Chain A
Amino acid sequence: MTLQMRAPAPSAALHESPSMTSPAAPLVRFRDVRKNFGALAVLKGIDLDVAPGEVVALIGRSGSGKSTALRCVNGLEKVDGGELTVCGRALHSGTVDLRELRQDVGIVFQSYNLFPHLTAEQNVTLAPRKVKRIGKGEARDLAAEVLAQVGLADKAQSYPEQLSGGQQQRVAIARSLAMHPKLILFDEVTSALDPELTGEVLKVIERLARGGMTMMLVTHEMAFARSVAHAVVFMHQGKVWESGKGEMLAHPQTVELRQFVGNGL
């Protein structure tokens, strides 16, 4: 911790859940988490909590470590130091069954990564059928339910290439929802989309937020982060530089965030 580099901490203290009203134990708990790629230190001691039902937005420049931090949460990246607990599993111990973890933690990628050879319905039900062994009829109902949640009930039989980028991304969100995760990670999910298509995806995420889904999002959409996220975490040079409620973006405490927000808005 290099306190001297950081301005006075904002209201939400780093070691507590940013939304301090939540009494439940955090779903995600970073404590001094470190991660290196070779000689390059990408995460230099991250502290962060995500409470159930909370929406946390990670913002920062590219290379700030925000995506890496997110990918640590479902074990796509291994942590090299510190403690990371997700849904009661200690990822730093190295003994966690990633397949079990990933039934609780969904992820949506920037590039959708839908399976091109499967219809929207098949994309959504593949994992529930193979992993949770649900039956055909149940799978169909499940697909109808989650596709309706993202507003694509009528696209169940479409293949990804027949859908717009925004629709594909919504199917990808539905694919995550179908596993009934406790937490969903969003890795720059609107960055590959044309501006006119980002709205429909953000609207779906906003609806999920209102429904109480716990989410962590890496995003460049500052207005969205401010209005939807319960907590915003600004990362810089592999550290949590500043964090707090959405209004913090209007009143940055650090020069770096001020510059970042200034560029972004």
Chain B
Amino acid sequence: MSYEFDFSFLDEYLPDLWHGIWLTLGMTTASILPGFALGTLCAVGRLYGPPWARRAVVIYVEGIRNTPLIIQVFWLFFGLAVLQVRIGPFAAAVIALVINVGAYTAEIMRAGFLSIPKGQIEAASCLALKPSQALWSVQLPQAVERVYPALVSQFVLMMLATSIMSQISAEELTGVAYMIQSFTFRGFEVYLVIAVIYLVMASLLRLTLLGVAQVSFPRRRRLGTPL
């Protein structure tokens, strides 16, 4: 058995690969902020909301965390099609990712809020801050800072998970790979290349998000405290 590696497809299909990379990165960046906002909102609802909100968040979080993303994607994408709601695969993918990552973020942020010493909240209320002001100015920044590494890991996982969106014909990187291998019959080489690209993207995303932290947490920047 001798197998000759052939990476000549790279030249011809480079533009397609770039296109796939952009779509993957686009999906990821489009999902991060809404996913974070949704998760934070749910964490707040679970911790401080009325009983019905707490119950709703638990059902949402447990429902999402105990079923596969791909089933959620199919449910949404094919479901919307049956309802005659026409949204493209990109939009469907982003919506599914936001809903999915929101549930995981909710759990992470809940842990973050719970880790803040009670004295902080007491001090804020003794300074006549409203609960909402204390939440926004005192609790939220500290919670995010404490769980930031976990959030970064979660968003990197989310980026990797976009690779199934070709299943609803979103032409992200893995979808492009499938297309290339079906023309070239060089599946092994194609997916090796794709794997390396994902590795690089995962590292870049991690670095970028850590860079974002350096900018958004001035204390970290000034004191050089690692996250």
Evaluate contact between A115 and B129: CB separation under 8 angstroms. Answer: no
Evaluate contact between B217 and A175: CB separation under 8 angstroms. Answer: no
A111 to B222, CA, bound (A): 24
Determine how close the nearest CB of chain A comes to the CB of B130; give it in whole angstroms: 7
Evaluate contact between B119 and A179: CB separation under 8 angstroms. Answer: no
Residues of chain A at the chain B interface (Cβ within 8 Å): 74, 76, 98-100, 102-103, 106-107, 109, 111, 113-117, 126-127, 130-131, 159, 161-162, 175, 179
List of A residues within 8 angstroms of B26 by Cβ: none
List of A residues within 8 angstroms of B203 by Cβ: none
A113 and B223 in contact (CB under 8 A), knowing A126-B137, A131-B127? no
List of A residues within 8 angstroms of B117 by Cβ: 113
A162 and B127 in contact (CB under 8 A), knowing A76-B122, A109-B119, A130-B137? no
A99 to B129, CA, bound (A): 7
A3 to B12, CA, bound (A): 100
A-B contact pairs, 25 of them (CB 8 A): A74-B126, A98-B125, A99-B128, A102-B125, A102-B126, A102-B127, A106-B126, A107-B126, A113-B117, A113-B122, A113-B123, A114-B123, A115-B123, A115-B124, A115-B138, A117-B141, A117-B217, A117-B219, A126-B129, A126-B138, A127-B127, A131-B129, A159-B223, A161-B223, A162-B223
List of A residues within 8 angstroms of B217 by Cβ: 117
Determine how close the nearest CB of chain A comes to the CB of B26; give it in whole angstroms: 32
A103 and B128 in contact (CB under 8 A), knowing A111-B119, A117-B142, A126-B137? yes
A131 and B128 in contact (CB under 8 A), knowing A115-B120, A117-B142, A159-B219? yes
Determine how close the nearest CB of chain B comes to the CB of A40; give it in whole angstroms: 21
Determine how close the nearest CB of chain B comes to the CB of A125; give it in whole angstroms: 11
A98 to B131, CA, bound (A): 12
B133 on the interface (CB 8 Å rule)? Answer: yes
Evaluate contact between A116 and B126: CB separation under 8 angstroms. Answer: no
Determine how close the nearest CB of chain A comes to the CB of B122; give it in whole angstroms: 7
List of A residues within 8 angstroms of B138 by Cβ: 115, 126
List of A residues within 8 angstroms of B124 by Cβ: 115
List of A residues within 8 angstroms of B120 by Cβ: 113, 115
Q: Which of B120-160 contact A (CB under 8 A)?
A: 120, 122-130, 133, 137-138, 141-142, 145
A159 to B221, CA, bound (A): 12
Specify the chain B residue showing the minimal Cβ separation from A129: B137
A109 to B119, CA, bound (A): 9
